[in-house]
Amino acid sequence: MKKESKKNDFQLSPEEMEILKKYKKRSFLAETWRGLRKNKGAVIGLIIIALIAFVAIFADLLYDYEEVVIMPDYSATLMSPSLEHPLGTDEFGRDVLARIVHGARLSMEIALLSTAFSLSVGGIIGAYSGYLGGKFDAIVMRIMDIFLAIPNMLLALAIVAALGPNLFNLILAIAISDVPRFARILRSTVLSIKDSEYIEASKAAGARTTTIVFREIIPNCIAPIIVQASIVMAAAIIIAASLSFIGLGVQPPAPEWGAMLSSGRSYMREYNYLVLFPGLAIVITVLAFNLLGDGLRDALDPRLKR
Amino acid sequence: MSQPLLEVKNLVKYFKTKSGMLHAVDDISFSIDEGKTLGIVGESGCGKSTTGRCILRLHEPTSGQVLFNGQDITKLNQNELREVRKDMQIVFQDPYASLNPRKTVSELIGEPMRLHGMFSSRLERDAKVLRLMDIVGLAPRFVNSYPHELDGGRRQRIGIARALALNPKFIVCDEPVSALDVSIQAQILNLLKELQNEFGITYIFITHDLSVVNYFSDDILVMYLGKMMELAPSETLFANPMHPYTKALLSAIPIPSLHNRPERILLRGEITSPINPPAGCRFAPRCDYCKDICTKVTPDFHKVDTDHYVACHLYS
Amino acid sequence: MAHEIPELKVENLVVEYVTEDAVVHAVNDVSFEVPKGSTMGLVGETGAGKTTTALSIMKLLPDPPAKLVSGKIEFAGEDIVPYSEKQMDALRGSTVSMVFQDPMTSLNPVLTVGDQIAEVIRRHQRVSKLEARTKAKEMLELVGISGDRAGEYPHQFSGGMKQRVIIAIALACNPKILIADEPTTALDVTIQAQVLSMMRDIKQKFDTAMILITHDLGVVADICDTVAIMYAGRIIEYGKIEEIFDDFKHPYTEGLFGSLPNLQKRHEKLKPIKGLMPDPSDLPTGCYFHPRCKYATAECAKRQPKKTYLSDTHYVECLAYEEGTGVKIEGGDIK
């Protein structure tokens, strides 16, 4: 042991400054990226999602919503893919690519909003349940179990059927059906963290309850939440498409992918691209979210790194 | 004689379980003078860790008193407790579980100081963190590493630096070396001893490893199923163990030498359940000297010699 | 050492783990033999390659990533390295058995312990179910558990009892070779003493060749006849138990003993080894131990030491014992 350490003034020496600068803390994002980079599937997923998000954000610049996406053009109905219409046109003569691009915006909106809602509601319920335990936990979790016993799709269907089919109700329906999922995940995470030794260590160091919740518990919940969120978003896109397909989701003429599939169904034999391309859009997007979710699960677990 | 730094009086901790009351710690009393080390030994389930946690009130004791500098810790409210915890720290057994995986070394070591607002600026705190890292022998390049990037020995050093951060008078070491390899174990034991010599820290050293406790402690308390069996200065305990359990425990230590090997006393059976234990001596079902009275009356913990206490009917 | 064929002989064993990022050199040229009725202690710290060595002998290495690069493993003179999985299945449990460290996870929770023992017997011997059951009860009695408990499930047993059951399973077909990987590490000292004394009795009764893997020199002193000290995948010192305990020669062995508190001299300061075990994917040049060795010279970084025989049975891998290297050991506990 070096005795020079017994200095009592706490000023950093130049060498120590140097050390602090050299071994800087790596940020959460940088760390995650480092882990994610190794997983090819996740990187591909991330690129696809970035592309879709980009297209969704700038959809209006690419194709005018009113003119191209909604307005029928009876002079150009059911045209096969060509240079002018790379993915062909539908039965009203609207460009399929334009509709898929604007459909991406809708899908992303639904996925993001419904997940944000279910995450915040489910997260709070789950966190409280886990932290408080006892009767509150027992009652709340049994209610969640009841919800979980009903298939997601069926639950969403029932809610939309009750409230009426429109975009807002669709988002709400999907969100509600996902609440128990987040509640479960958060509860089990909080439970495992709550009794861990580092919480005790923090208590011994003099931490108050709020400090423990915000500094110890929440940061350790982020990883499973992000992973779950990416998977739930994929599921949300599927449910939205399915509900729209059976006419209970987004209503025509809005270019929702599921709705496009539904209307293309009647022309499937001769004009298969009408179902092929929206179908592909759904598959690729869902796959991308799932790939990313899997990659994140590994990248965010500090114990798996090295 | 001056007042001991820590005095534990009739400490009791029961846990409610589905099948009944688990008597984890049952009527424990002892005291430690400043700068000394008390070793608590016993096998799994004897309540040694629970005792350590009750002293810091990481578990709320069911009853009993814990006097630290004459102040009863069990009566303090949250804010008063926070103040006292500056002086009382703990080093945990598992350096994997006791460090938040999302914090860097400097955040972990700096946390107690941040919580108590010891420094106004981040830079001052960083300076102190680096000093602490130096004291426990951690190279400064690990300052912003995450615990999972380090091996067990280094992690345990983080745990120790963190416990030292508030300049405590008293540290509970809960099996601080049992998760480590022998060569690393010795490094950590030496470090803890040096810290005691340099800063006059008082330790409770909890372990199942008798050779470690012998090396480390002034006094040793032997526990079995939540009860005190024997308490004596280390040398006395090893030279003249009185309780049949202590004797068996000492004889069971695997000695890394081919000479001076003691006669093994093999105990019958295994530890009985700590849930709703019957009256009488807890050790009676495994004891070779068990008499009628042993299964009926709980033996007193009484003095048999200077500083030598034992709970056994053989000596009353 | 010309004598009868040993029950187990390992020659120049090299095992690597090949991963995307690196090649982990887990076992680097290990040789030893264990004759009938003898017990060898394989001692070392985490990452020394003890368990990898054991798994290679069982041919249970996960491949990939593990790869048996070279070497011979002979059971009674027969090299099993080229054996097929099917041939190994016939050997495992009958000729060679292994006891794992963790008694909590090594037993199947949904089968009674009697059935688990009987299953092993029936896999290797043509006996009726009834005979196998009777034998299972005998095995339980042998390890000190009442035969009446054969119908109970693992969760009804305590840790020490489970470890006994596991040993009973391992011994059920009278294996010629028994590998015990830290069999008592998870147990309390008094229970450990019980299990060790039981293992000693059994060893005498069956004349099994045994390898005891442990980090605890106290356990070795209790039960072993020969000791191999492993460091970074090499056996750096090997000898009869007296030769190692009373007359160790390697600085690492010295460090291991110096790290242990001495019950007799309690105020003597511990003399730990400085530094850490090297990363097996990035081993130092020369002697693997030289960065931590207090006697190391420049020479030690240049050349890997060869085996130097100090007696018929005692060898050490350290340049200090080779002629003309100029490396000296002075001032330590080495006599």
CA distances (Å), origin C329, targets C234, C260, C277: 21, 21, 21
Q: How confident is the model over B288-316, as a mean pLDDT?
A: 90
* Percent of chain C predicted with pLDDT > 90: 29
Give me the phi and psi of C122, to 5 degrees please. -70, -25
Instruction: Please give the mean pLDDT across all residues of chain A.
Output: 86
Report residue B255's pLDDT band, with 50, 70 and 90 as the boundaries.
confident
3-state secondary structure B272-298: CCCECCCCCCCCHHHCCCCCCHHHCCC
Give the pLDDT score at A172.
Answer: 92
Q: Under a CB-based contact definition with an 8 Å cutoff, are residues C269 and B190 in contact?
A: yes
Q: Is residue C304 part of a domain?
A: yes
Report residue A4's pLDDT band, with 50, 70 and 90 as the boundaries.
very low
Nearest CA in chain A to B91: A201
Q: What is the DSSP string of C65-108?
A: TEEEEEEEEEETTEE-TT--HHHHHHHBTTTEEEE-S-TTTSS-
For residues A224 and B8, what is the distance between their CA atoms, to the nearest angstrom?
Answer: 43
Q: How confident is the model over B99-127, as a mean pLDDT?
A: 88
Q: How confident is the model over A160-178, as a mean pLDDT?
A: 90
User: How far does the CA of residue C169 sit from the closest CA of chain B (Å)?
Assistant: 21
Give Cα B106 to chain centroid, integer Å: 26
pLDDT by residue (tens digit) across B9-42?
999 999 988 888 889 999 999 999 999 999 999 8
Give Cα C332 to chain centroid, integer Å: 28
pLDDT by residue (tens digit) across A271-282?
888 899 999 999
Nearest CA in chain C to B190: C270
For residues C160 and C153, what is the distance between their CA atoms, to the nearest angstrom?
Answer: 14
For residues B248 and C87, what is the distance between their CA atoms, to the nearest angstrom?
Answer: 46
pLDDT by residue (tens digit) across C253-289?
999 998 888 777 777 788 888 888 888 888 899 899 9
Total number of domains constituting chain C? 1
pLDDT by residue (tens digit) across A85-126?
888 888 888 999 999 999 999 999 999 999 999 999 998 899
Report residue A10's pLDDT band, with 50, 70 and 90 as the boundaries.
low
Report residue B158's pLDDT band, with 50, 70 and 90 as the boundaries.
very high
Q: Is residue C273 part of a domain?
A: yes
User: How far does the CA of residue B43 sit from the closest CA of chain C (Å)?
Assistant: 6
Q: Is residue C103 part of a domain?
A: no
Q: Which residues of A touch B94 (CB under 8 A)?
A: 197
- Give all domains of chain B, ordered by start, each with its CATH number: 6-87+168-315 (3.40.50.300), 101-166 (no CATH)
Rounded to a whole number of angstroms, the distance between the first and last alpha carbons of chain C is: 26
Q: Which residues of A touch B90 (CB under 8 A)?
A: 200-201, 204
Report residue B237's pLDDT band, with 50, 70 and 90 as the boundaries.
very high
* Residue C114 buriedness (CB in 10 A; 0-12 / 13-18 / 19+): buried
CB–CB contact C272 B183 (8 Å):
yes
pLDDT by residue (tens digit) across B258-274?
887 778 888 887 778 88
What is the residue range of A297's domain?
38-73+86-301
Give the pLDDT score at B75.
Answer: 92
Residue from A22, A198, A209, A226 whose CB has the most chain B CBs within 10 Å, to mutate:
A198
> Residue A10: which of B111, B127, B141 has the nearest Cβ?
B127
Please determine, for residue A77, whether its predicted confidence score (pLDDT) is greater than 60.
yes
CB–CB contact A10 B194 (8 Å):
no
CB–CB contact C256 B212 (8 Å):
no
By C-alpha distance, which of B26, B32, B44 is closest to B7? B32
- The pair of structure tokens assigned to C257 is 């003993």
By C-alpha distance, which of A94, A99, A62 is closest to A75? A94
Q: Under a CB-based contact definition with an 8 Å cutoff, are residues A246 and A154 in contact?
A: no
* Percent of chain A predicted with pLDDT > 90: 29
User: Which long-range contacts (C-beta less than 8 Å, at least 24 apart) are formed by A75-84?
Assistant: A78/A267, A78/A270, A78/A271, A80/A271, A80/A273, A81/A273
Instruction: Please give the mean pLDDT across all residues of chain B.
Output: 89
Give the pLDDT score at C195.
Answer: 86
* Percent of chain A predicted with pLDDT > 70: 95
Window from A260-274, B144-158, B255-269 with minimum mean pLDDT? B255-269
Please determine, for residue C28, whether its predicted confidence score (pLDDT) is greater than 60.
yes
CB–CB contact C263 B182 (8 Å):
no
CATH number for the domain harbouring residue A194: 1.10.3720.10
Report residue B87's pLDDT band, with 50, 70 and 90 as the boundaries.
very high
Q: Is residue A12 part of a domain?
A: no
Q: What are the helix (H) ranges across chain B?
A: 48-55, 78-85, 105-115, 122-136, 152-164, 182-199, 210-216, 234-239, 244-252
Q: Under a CB-based contact definition with an 8 Å cutoff, are residues B307 and B293 in contact?
A: no
SS3 state of residue B230: strand
Residue from A6, A7, A23 whose CB has the most chain B CBs within 10 Å, to mutate:
A23
User: How far does the CA of residue C259 sit from the closest CA of chain B (Å)?
Assistant: 5
Give the pLDDT score at B3.
Answer: 84
Q: Which regions of chain C does DSSP assign to beta strands (E)?
A: 8-18, 23-34, 39-43, 66-75, 78-79, 96-99, 177-181, 209-214, 226-231, 234-240, 307-309, 315-317
Q: Kindly report the number of other CB atoms within 10 A of residue C126's CB atom.
A: 6
For residues C32 and C40, what is the distance between their CA atoms, to the nearest angstrom?
Answer: 9
Contacting partners of chain A (3+ CB pairs under 8 A):
B
pLDDT by residue (tens digit) across C51-67?
899 999 998 888 778 88
CB–CB contact B100 A207 (8 Å):
no
Report residue B44's pLDDT band, with 50, 70 and 90 as the boundaries.
confident
CB–CB contact B90 A204 (8 Å):
yes
For the CA atoms of B275, B279, B283, B284, what is the dihedral angle to 10 degrees? Answer: -130
Total number of domains constituting chain A? 1
Report residue A224's pLDDT band, with 50, 70 and 90 as the boundaries.
confident
Starting at the edge strand found earlier in the chain, the sheet holding C226-231 runs C96-99, C177-181, C209-214, C39-43, C226-231, C234-240, C315-317, C307-309
Residues 24-83 on A with a CB inside 8 Å of B are 24-26
Q: What's the pTM?
A: 0.81
Type of residue at A97: L
pLDDT by residue (tens digit) across C133-172?
998 998 888 888 888 888 888 888 877 888 889 988 888 8
Which is it for strands C39-43 and C226-231: parallel, antiparallel or unpaired? Answer: parallel
CB–CB contact A19 B145 (8 Å):
no
Residues sharing a CB contact under 8 Å with residue B189, sequence separation 6 or more, in sequence order: B177, B212, B215, B216, C261, C270
Q: Is residue C20 part of a domain?
A: no
Nearest CA in chain B to A25: B144
User: How far does the CA of residue B2 sit from the closest CA of chain A (Å)?
Assistant: 27
Question: ipTM of this complex > 0.90?
Answer: no
Q: How confident is the model over B297-303, as a mean pLDDT?
A: 91
Residues forming a β-bridge with C78: C75
Report residue A302's pLDDT band, with 50, 70 and 90 as the boundaries.
low
Q: Is residue C239 part of a domain?
A: no
Q: Is residue A80 part of a domain?
A: no
User: Chain A to chain B, count of Cβ pairs less than 8 Å apart?
Assistant: 109
pLDDT by residue (tens digit) across C193-231?
888 888 888 888 888 899 999 988 989 998 999 999 999
* Percent of chain B predicted with pLDDT > 90: 48
Give the pLDDT score at C203.
Answer: 84
Residue from C185, C245, C263 whose CB has the most chain B CBs within 10 Å, to mutate:
C263
Give the pLDDT score at C157.
Answer: 83
Starting at the edge strand found earlier in the chain, the sheet holding C78-79 runs C23-34, C8-18, C66-75, C78-79
CB–CB contact C218 B184 (8 Å):
no
Q: Which residues of A touch B102 (CB under 8 A)?
A: 219-220, 302
Q: Is residue C53 part of a domain?
A: no
b/e code A241-272 from CB counts within 10 Å (16+ = b): bbbbbeebbbeeebbbbbbbbbbbeebeeebe
Please determine, for residue A9, whether its predicted confidence score (pLDDT) is greater than 80.
no
Q: Is residue A8 part of a domain?
A: no
Report residue A5's pLDDT band, with 50, 70 and 90 as the boundaries.
very low
Please determine, for residue A306, whether its predicted confidence score (pLDDT) is greater than 50.
no
Please determine, for residue B230, whether its predicted confidence score (pLDDT) is greater than 90.
yes
b/e code A161-178 from CB counts within 10 Å (16+ = b): eeeebebebbbbbbbbbb
For residues B189 and B287, what is the distance between their CA atoms, to the nearest angstrom?
Answer: 33
Residue B40 DSSP code? E
Residues 85-124 on B with a CB inside 8 Å of A are 85-86, 88-90, 92, 94, 97-102, 104, 106, 111-112, 115-116, 119, 123-124
Q: Is residue A28 part of a domain?
A: no
CB–CB contact B140 A305 (8 Å):
no
> Residue B189: which of C45, C266, C270 has the nearest Cβ?
C270
Give the pLDDT score at C211.
Answer: 94
What is the residue range of C271's domain?
248-335
b/e code B50-60 from CB counts within 10 Å (16+ = b): bbbbbbbbbbe
CB–CB contact B183 C255 (8 Å):
yes
pLDDT by residue (tens digit) across B190-217?
999 999 999 999 999 999 888 888 888 9
Residues 226-265 on B with a CB inside 8 Å of C are 234-235, 238, 248-249, 251-258, 260-261, 264
Q: Is residue A265 part of a domain?
A: yes
Q: Is residue C318 part of a domain?
A: yes
Give the pLDDT score at A31.
Answer: 77
